[in-house]
Amino acid sequence: MIFKFLKTKIAEKAMHKEVDELKKNLDEASFKFIESFVSNFDAQTILTPKKNQLPKSFFIYGYMYSYIDRTFQMSIYKKNETLWMEGALVVFVHYYGAKLASQVLQRAEKYTKENEDFIDGAKVGAKEAYDMMKFGKYPKGISKYILEHYENLKDWY
C-alpha cells in the first residue's frame, strides 16, 4: 500500500514541500516521535568525521527506510500511513533535500528488490529498530557502516 502511495502525484508534490511545512501538520506527540529518528541518526554520527551528516549511500538509505518503517510498525502509530509518509519525508529531506529524498522514497520498492546495498541496509535497520523498541538496545548500524567504509564515502558528503 505505501509503495503505491509513494508513486502517486500527491506523494511527489508532498515530497517537494518544505520540512517546516510538513511539520506544521503534526501534533506535538507525532512531531516528537518523528524528531526521534533525526536525533537517533545524528547520534550515530558523533564518532564519524562529519557529525549530523549522512553520506549518500544505498546502504544508509535502506537502513533509514527500514528503521523508520519497523519503528512505526511497533509503535502506537502503526496504522497511520500518512504519519509514516510525513515522518519518512521529514527525515529524508532533513539529510538529503527534497529532490534526493523524493527519488529514494519513490524508488524504495524497486530498491528493496534490486539493490543489494539497500537490501543489506534495510536488514540492519529493521533489526536495530526492533532491538531498540523491544529491548532498548541502542542502534549503531549507521556509525559502524560509515566508519568501516569512510574512505569510499568521503567524497559523497
pLDDT tens by residue, 81-95 = 888 888 898 899 888
List of residues 6+ apart from 65 with CB closer than 8 A:
88, 104, 105, 108, 118, 121, 122, 125
Strands (E), 39-115: none
Is it the case that residue 149 has pLDDT exceeding 90?
Answer: no
High-pLDDT (> 70) share of the chain, %: 82
**110 or 16, which is more confident?**
110
Q: Residue 45 — pLDDT band, cuts 50, 70, 90?
A: confident
The structural domains of the chain, with segments of one domain joined by +, span 2-156
Q: Which residue has the cell 529524508?
A: 92
| pTM for the whole structure | 0.83
Alpha carbon separation from 61 to 8, 21, 141 (Å, rounded):
20, 23, 12
Q: Is 119 exposed, middle or buried (0-12, 13-18, 19+ CB in 10 A)?
A: middle
Q: State pLDDT tens for residues 108-130.
A: 999 999 999 999 999 999 999 99
